């Protein structure tokens, strides 16, 4: 299995956590809230596209809404492959960071 990038990891974790509420603005807002980093709105769409293209996320069109001028929101959900990728990257991160002097993991 090909490892995902750190950006893809953060986005995939966020989509997983948001569940059925995972769409562009909500993903961007959640990442900003959790990391303190204000990602440009457009900067999540390239990685989202790659995650969909690589089969880690599924894109689902929502219903058109009047406040969006009749446009549909695109919602995202992790696929089975996406969940496997998250588990794999979690294992890799744990293996890399284990026994790192001065960087003990907080519980």
Number of helices (H), then strands (E), belonging to the chain: the values are 4, 2
Report whether 62 contacts 77 (CB < 8 A): no
Look at residue 41 and tell me whether its pLDDT is greater than 90.
no
Domain assignment of residue 104, yes or no: no
pLDDT digits (tens, 9 = 90+) for 54-88: 999 999 998 877 776 778 889 999 999 999 999 99
- Whether residue 105 is contained in a domain is answered as no
Residue 47 lies in a domain: yes
Q: Which domain holds residue 90?
A: 6-97
Among 27, 77, 22, which Cα is nearest to 55's? 77
User: What percent of the chain shows pLDDT beyond 70?
Assistant: 94
Half-sphere exposure of 66 (CA within 13 A, CB side): 0
| Domain tally, the chain | 1
**pTM of structure:** 0.85
Look at 10 and 39; give whichever has higher pLDDT.
10
Q: Is 74 among the domain residues?
A: yes
Provide the mean pLDDT of the chain. Answer: 89
């Amino acid at each position: 299995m090909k490892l995902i990038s750190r950006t893809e990891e953060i986005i995939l974790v966020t989509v997983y956590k948001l569940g059925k509420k995972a769409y562009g603005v909500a993903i961007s807002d959640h990442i900003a809230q959790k990391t303190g980093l204000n990602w440009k709105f457009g900067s999540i769409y390239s990685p989202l596209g790659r995650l969909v293209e690589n089969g880690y996320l599924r894109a689902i069109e929502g219903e058109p809404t009047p406040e969006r001028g009749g446009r549909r929101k695109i919602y995202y959900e992790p696929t089975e492959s996406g969940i496997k990728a998250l588990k794999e990257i979690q294992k890799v991160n744990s293996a890399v960071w284990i026994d790192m002097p001065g960087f003990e993991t907080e519980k």
